[in-house]
């Protein structure tokens, strides 16, 4: 058995590239792994510099080889960092998707001359299979991670939406309750109010009658009668009663009128009244809505009005439009935590009427601008806003074929402008009975 | 197995390590053209729990590299996160390092340092070994009780790259049977 021949055959059958170099980088030997891929046999490259044979990789190879000579220790090259040191094509030219071979390379010291290395051996391992498996795995895991993140975001959104839905259901229930109460209160308020009017009338008459009697008694000139009258009036504190009675009554009537107003507005805003199309004065609607929102605005907001005269009535669903106004007013009020100014403006522009609600709050952050009309988008803490107000407003205005515009300079307030066509939307006009 | 190390053995081993590490540092200094200072080698027998404490830091990267021959074991290299860019510059890496070149640098550096140490150690004691490719090691995930051994011999050296924040610790860990072999060798040397 010829061991040398056996060794050589073995070298050439190895699935590894083997290349021996001397200290001048000259190739002493390489096995078939190299010859098959370069087309140059071991004999033809013998004595040639490896760096010249692979000039593109010379710098990297030199560095690795020098390190072996200097440190007398093996050095390594990894496919993760340097995938294709030798420009060999993939081991899977037909079925593979890689074009170049992925390689791990070991640079081993093999012969020593005293203390220093004399010969080194490059061992090239084809790890294309492993590398492409690993890369595919990495891609898969990246994709999974991304999908996971997307799912998580979706989940968060869903749970937020659920919260908001619950809140909006609560609001709807409260609204219904308010409408019911308003309806029930309406009757007693009605007769209290008319009775008070009558009482005021009767009281006026009674006082007139008393005046008449006083005159008659004074005409008689009878001191006894006059004294009796004075005593009785004093005992009953009649002077005060006479003065206070009309005031009490007119205050009460004033009060009951306010209650009537509130009830009327509550009814107007509850869903009990269905929204029908009619010509309506937008400024009136805005003013009525202001009364509803009054308790949110009263103490902290100074209201400035600038309404154009002779605005035409607009064909719309007044209750729905009032709902829009309410949302804008409440948002403005909530934006202004402390004192602030609310500017209300209405004007005609072509065939449309515009209404602007502007506040001096902190304004809207640019990143929120895009999402403003998104359903369930809210910047208020969970539970205090439905995130539906503006999206509802948007859909109402859309239904009117109008426009809603936002302008905001962060730090100096926000303004919302609603523009509604005077004639109403084309579809509504044709649907009018 | 109950491993014991006499004062004499420890001193001898320390001296041998000192000589070989000095050679390693010289070679390294040549390669990267910078001054390197060395700590006195530390020799200790540790239990698994103490060993695990090496990894209780986030200031370092870890690599591991096994060696095989007349003695067997692994070399752990701790590479400081601080100052790694400077070292990259010295080794002619393009700065700033991206993730890939950073890993490449870490492995190259670990190979240079650990290889030099191990070579010094094995030539001084005439215990030839062959070292394998280093890999990055996520040590924090290992539990002390998951190791298959109860105690091991550590040979530890610290490198400091002068004028930089970078330092490195090389820990040569021998498996128990190899420790016995090493001690026999030491005893022979001491008798001579």
Between helix A223-235 and helix A128-220 the angle, nearest 10°, is 160
DSSP B189: H
Across the interface, of A71, A74, A81, the residue whose CB is closest to B27 is A71
Across the interface, of B30, B100, B112, the residue whose CB is closest to A81 is B100
How does DSSP assign B10-70, residue by residue?
HHHHHHHHHHHHHHHHHHHHHHHTS-EEEPPPEEEEEEHHHHHHTT--SSEEEEEEEEEES
Instruction: From B166, B37, B188, B57, select the one nearest B110 (Cα to Cα).
Output: B166
Q: Is A131 helix (H, G, I), strand (E, B) or coil?
A: helix
Nearest CA in chain A to B27: A71
Q: Is A108 helix (H, G, I), strand (E, B) or coil?
A: strand
Tell me the H-state helices in A83-237. 128-220, 223-235
* Interchain proximity A73–B133, CB inside 8 Å: no
Query: Residue A40: phi, psi to the nearest 5?
Result: -120, 125
Q: Note the pLDDT of residue B123.
A: 81
* Interchain proximity A104–B133, CB inside 8 Å: yes
Chain B residues at the A interface, defined by Cβ less than 8 Å, are 24, 27-28, 30-31, 92, 100-101, 103-104, 107-108, 111-112, 115-116, 118-119, 130-131, 133-134
* Interchain proximity A70–B27, CB inside 8 Å: yes
Nearest CA in chain B to A75: B111
CB pairs under 8 A between A and B: 52
Q: Spell out a b/e string for A374-402, using b for 16 or more CB atoms within 10 Å of the CB, else e.
A: ebbbbeeeeeebbbbbbbbbbbbbeebeb
Nearest CA in chain B to A105: B133
Q: Note the pLDDT of residue A233.
A: 92
Round to whole Å and give the CA distance between B71 and B177.
8
* Interchain proximity B31–A63, CB inside 8 Å: no
For residue B128, the distance in angstroms to the closest alpha carbon of chain A comes to 12
Q: Is A340 helix (H, G, I), strand (E, B) or coil?
A: strand
* Interchain proximity B111–A73, CB inside 8 Å: yes
* Interchain proximity A70–B131, CB inside 8 Å: no
pLDDT class for B146, splitting at 50, 70, 90?
low
- Tens-digit pLDDT string for chain A (433 aa): 688 888 888 888 888 999 999 989 999 999 999 998 888 988 899 999 999 999 988 988 998 898 888 878 888 888 888 888 898 887 777 777 777 889 999 999 888 777 778 899 999 999 988 888 998 999 999 999 999 999 999 998 888 778 767 766 776 676 677 778 878 888 899 999 999 999 999 999 999 999 999 999 999 888 999 999 999 999 999 999 999 999 999 999 988 988 887 777 666 655 544 567 888 899 988 988 888 777 777 677 888 999 998 889 999 888 888 888 888 888 888 888 778 888 999 999 888 999 999 988 888 888 887 777 766 677 776 555 555 677 778 878 888 888 888 888 888 888 999 999 998 887 544 444 3
Round to whole Å and give the CA distance between A183 and A269.
12
Partner residues linked to A351 by β-bridges? none
To test the contact with chain B by mutation, choose from A62, A68, A76 the residue with the greatest count of B C-beta atoms within 10 A, namely A76
State whether residue A106 sits within 8 Å of chain B by CB: yes
For residue A76, the distance in angstroms to the closest alpha carbon of chain B comes to 6
Q: Note the pLDDT of residue A433.
A: 37
Structural domains of chain B in order of their starting residue, each with its CATH number: 7-191 (3.40.1550.10)
State whether residue A71 sits within 8 Å of chain B by CB: yes
Q: Which residues of A touch B131 (CB under 8 A)?
A: 73-74
* Interchain proximity A70–B108, CB inside 8 Å: no
* Interchain proximity A73–B101, CB inside 8 Å: no
Q: What is the ipTM of this complex?
A: 0.79
Q: Note the pLDDT of residue A168.
A: 65
* Interchain proximity B111–A72, CB inside 8 Å: no
The residue among B175 and A170 whose pLDDT is bigger is: B175
Q: What is the pTM of this model?
A: 0.58
* Interchain proximity B92–A71, CB inside 8 Å: no
Q: How many contiguous H segments (helices) and E segments (strands) does chain B have? A: 5, 8
Q: Which residues of B touch A75 (CB under 8 A)?
A: 108, 111-112, 115
Q: Note the pLDDT of residue A118.
A: 86
pLDDT class for B167, splitting at 50, 70, 90?
confident
- Give pLDDT tens digits for B67-88: 888 888 888 889 888 888 888 8
Both tokens assigned to A92: 């899977």
Round to whole Å and give the CA distance between A249 and A238.
16
Q: Is A296 helix (H, G, I), strand (E, B) or coil?
A: helix
Instruction: From A38, A90, A82, select the one nearest A60 (Cα to Cα).
Output: A82
To test the contact with chain A by mutation, choose from B26, B27, B75 the residue with the greatest count of A C-beta atoms within 10 A, namely B27
Which residue pairs from A370-375 have beta carbons closer than 8 angstroms and sit at least 24 positions apart in sequence? A372/A406, A373/A404
Instruction: From A400, A404, A392, select the one nearest A428 (Cα to Cα).
Output: A400
Q: Note the pLDDT of residue B166.
A: 85
Q: Using DSSP bridges, classify how beta strands A340-349 and A301-307 pair: parallel, antiparallel or unpaired.
A: parallel
- Give pLDDT tens digits for B110-130: 888 888 888 888 887 888 888
Q: Note the pLDDT of residue B5.
A: 78
Q: How far is CA A231 from CA A209, A214, A225, A238, A243, in A?
A: 19, 13, 10, 10, 18
Q: Note the pLDDT of residue A418.
A: 92
Across the interface, of B103, B107, B115, the residue whose CB is closest to A74 is B115
Across the interface, of B31, B101, B131, the residue whose CB is closest to A67 is B31
Q: Is the dihedral of CA A192, A196, A198, A199 positive or negative?
A: positive
Q: Is B7 helix (H, G, I), strand (E, B) or coil?
A: helix
Tell me the H-state helices in A270-372. 282-297, 318-335, 366-369
Across the interface, of A66, A81, A104, the residue whose CB is closest to B104 is A81
For residue B143, the distance in angstroms to the closest alpha carbon of chain A comes to 26
* Interchain proximity A78–B104, CB inside 8 Å: yes
Across the interface, of A63, A72, A75, the residue whose CB is closest to B111 is A75
Other residues' Cβ atoms within 10 Å of the Cβ of residue B148: 6
Q: Note the pLDDT of residue A215.
A: 93
Name residues whose C-beta falls within 8 Å of residue B40's C-beta, 6 or more positions apart in sequence.
B14, B18
């Amino acid at each position: 058995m010829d061991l040398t021949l056996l060794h050589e055959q073995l070298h050439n059958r190895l699935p590894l590239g083997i290349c021996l170099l001397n200290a001048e980088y000259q190739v002493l030997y390489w096995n078939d792994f190299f010859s098959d891929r370069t087309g140059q046999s071991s004999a033809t490259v013998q004595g040639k510099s490896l760096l010249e044979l692979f000039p593109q990789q010379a710098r990297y190879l030199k560095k690795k080889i020098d390190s072996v000579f200097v440190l007398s220790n093996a050095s390594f090259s990894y496919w993760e960092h340097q995938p294709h040191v030798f420009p060999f094509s993939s081991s899977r030219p037909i079925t593979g998707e890689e074009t170049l071979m992925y390689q791990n390379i070991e640079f081993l010291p093999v012969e020593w001359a005293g203390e220093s290395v004399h010969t080194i051996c490059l061992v090239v391992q084809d790890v294309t299979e492993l590398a492409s498996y690993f890369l595919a795995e990495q891609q898969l895991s990246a994709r999974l991670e991304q999908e996971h993140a997307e799912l998580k975001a979706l989940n968060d959104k869903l749970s937020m939406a659920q919260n908001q839905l619950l809140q909006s259901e609560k609001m709807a229930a409260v609204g219904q309750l308010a409408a019911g109460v308003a309806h029930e209160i309406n009757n007693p308020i009605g007769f209290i109010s008319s009775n008070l009017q009558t009482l005021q009338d009767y009281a006026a008459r009674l006082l007139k009658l008393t005046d008449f009697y006083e005159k008659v008694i004074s005409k008689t000139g009878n001191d006894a009668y006059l004294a009796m009258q004075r005593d009785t009036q004093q005992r009953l504190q009649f002077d005060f009663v006479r003065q206070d009675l009309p005031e009490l009554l007119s205050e009460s009537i004033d009060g009951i009128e306010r209650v009537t107003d509130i009830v009327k507005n509550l009814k107007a805003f509850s869903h009990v009244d269905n929204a029908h199309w009619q010509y309506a004065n937008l400024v009136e609607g805005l003013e009525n809505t202001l009364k509803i929102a009054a308790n949110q605005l009263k103490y902290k907001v100074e209201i400035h009005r600038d309404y154009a005269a002779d605005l035409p009535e607009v064909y719309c669903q007044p209750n729905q439009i009032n709902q829009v106004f309410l949302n804008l007013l409440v948002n403005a009020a909530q934006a202004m935590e402390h004192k602030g100014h609310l500017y209300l403006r209405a004007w005609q522009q072509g065939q449309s009427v515009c209404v602007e609600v502007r506040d001096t709050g902190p304004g809207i952050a640019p990143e929120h601008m895009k999402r403003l009309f998104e359903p369930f988008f809210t910047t208020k803490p969970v539970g205090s806003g439905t995130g539906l107000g503006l999206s509802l407003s948007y859909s109402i205005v859309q239904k009117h074929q109008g426009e809603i515009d936002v302008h905001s300079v962060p730090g100096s307030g926000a303004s919302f402008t609603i523009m509604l066509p005077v004639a109403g939307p084309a579809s509504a006009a044709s649907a009018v009975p | 197995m109950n491993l014991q190390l006499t004062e004499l053995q420890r001193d001898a081993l320390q001296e041998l390590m000192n000589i070989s590490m000095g050679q390693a540092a010289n070679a390294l200094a040549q390669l990267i053209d910078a001054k390197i200072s060395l700590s006195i080698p530390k020799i200790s027998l540790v239990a698994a729990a103490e060993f695990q404490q090496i990894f209780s830091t986030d200031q370092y990267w870890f690599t591991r590299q096994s060696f095989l021959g007349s003695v067997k074991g692994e070399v752990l290299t701790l590479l400081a996160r601080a100052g790694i860019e400077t070292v990259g510059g010295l080794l002619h890496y393009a700065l700033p390092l991206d993730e890939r070149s950073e890993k490449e640098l870490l492995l190259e550096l670990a190979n240079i340092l650990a290889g030099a140490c191990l070579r010094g150690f094995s030539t001084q004691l005439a215990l030839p070994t062959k070292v394998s490719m280093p890999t990055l090691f996520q040590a924090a995930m290992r539990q002390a009780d998951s190791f298959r051994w109860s105690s091991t011999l550590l040979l530890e050296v610290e490198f400091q790259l002068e004028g930089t924040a970078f330092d490195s610790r090389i820990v040569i860990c021998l498996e128990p049977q190899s420790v016995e072999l090493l001690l026999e060798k030491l005893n022979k040397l001491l008798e001579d």
